[in-house]
Amino acid sequence: MSEPTNSTFRPRIFSGIQPSGGLTLGNYLGALKRFAALQGDQAETVYCVVDLHAITVWQDPQVLLSRTREAAAAFMASGVDPAQSILFNQSQVSAHAEMAWLFNTVARVGWMYRMTQFKDKAGKNSENASLGLLAYPALMAADILTYQATAVPVGEDQKQHLELTRDIAAKFNHDYGVNHFPITEPLIEGVATRVMSLRDGSKKMSKSDPSDASRINLTDDADTIAQKIRKARTDADPLPGQMDGLKDRPEARNLVNIYAALADETPDQVLGRFEGQGFGAFKPALAEVAVEAMAPITRKMSEYMADPAQIDAVLADGAERADAIARPILDRTKEIMGLLRTRR
């Protein structure tokens, strides 16, 4: 067995967000807020705007450019500091695409067809989906394993893709008789790992939902946020004192979870204060907490967006630093696979 190629071991965290639409409160609570919290001396944090993933469904080129910068602005506005973390966009580091090809030869077609996200996105006419949409999880495994990352903070919806990443790493290590890729741990933690739609408590809050009222966008102003919360679907019952009492009330549970995540409290602490009260009292309080938490982020995002050259400079620097980690790991992977290398 060969040793992992990074000899000075410091745990590396990797995660990514697609620039395929405006980002939502779900992205913030499930991912961005936690990305910022994970920065520090304990781990090296590598964060990526995954533009190569976005193009697995049609993107208008001009819109994609602007959404890529907007996603980078959202990372920074949420507290990701380019001095502490590596922040870049995927297509600027070609190791991702190269590693994805290598993994296309390791992963099995059947694994890909089983992915629920593929089934959802491809819909009824899956024959007409792009080949990239089917192979998407191999690119995601490449993102993570090209950095030999050991932990990946994500929302609940990415769990199946991370399991597949582990399968690819294990099969590669087994087939080539090496210990080259780590078996990555998903970090799916907190009360907001699955923020639900404001209109339907059984559906995930998503940038692709046709109803704008179903989500809070990171670009929404204070009035819009308050109005969306006021109009959120709920029921007529008063709130119980503990989360157990919300088992069959998905919309109510979702709003309490959102409150708790925004206020850094537990859902039971929140309910402790609102026990016996109805949504007439709870919604304005939630709107206040949401506006207070989101307004600085929205403001910082528009400040960053006013200076695209600065965003581009951050991404260029991040890409250089990412490439310096990724390249030797990719080279070693090729060597293990018997791909002849004569250029130095």
Residues that bind ligand TYM (CB under 6 A): 14-18, 26-27, 30-31, 50, 53, 140, 143-144, 152, 154-155, 157-158, 161, 192-195, 204-205
Query: Hey, what are 85's tokens?
Result: 């973390």
- In this complex, which beta carbon is closest to ligand TYM, that of residue 141 or of residue 311? 141
SS3 labels along 13-26: EEEEECCCCCCEHH
Which residue out of 159, 203, 207, 334 is catalytically annotated? 207
Q: How far is the CB of 109 from ligand TYM (least distance, A)?
A: 19
Q: How far is the CB of 230 from ligand TYM (least distance, A)?
A: 20
Which residue out of 121, 203, 300, 334 is catalytically annotated? 121
Please indicate whether residue 204 is annotated as part of the active site.
yes
Distance CA 20, CA 60 (A): 10
Please indicate whether residue 334 is annotated as part of the active site.
no
- In this complex, which beta carbon is closest to ligand TYM, that of residue 18 or of residue 91? 18
Distance CA 80, CA 293 (A): 16
State residue 87 phi and psi, 5-degree precision: -125, 125
Please indicate whether residue 121 is annotated as part of the active site.
yes
- In this complex, which beta carbon is closest to ligand TYM, that of residue 146 or of residue 298? 146
Q: How far is the CB of 31 from ligand TYM (least distance, A)?
A: 4
Residue with tokens 């500091």: 81
Give the total residue count for the chain. Answer: 344
- In this complex, which beta carbon is closest to ligand TYM, that of residue 25 or of residue 246? 25
DSSP labels, 217-267: BTT--HHHHHHHHHTS---SSPP-SSGGGGTT-HHHHHHHHHHHHHHT--H
Distance CA 334, CA 213 (A): 48
Q: How far is the CB of 236 from ligand TYM (least distance, A)?
A: 25
Q: Return the active site residues.
A: 121, 204, 207
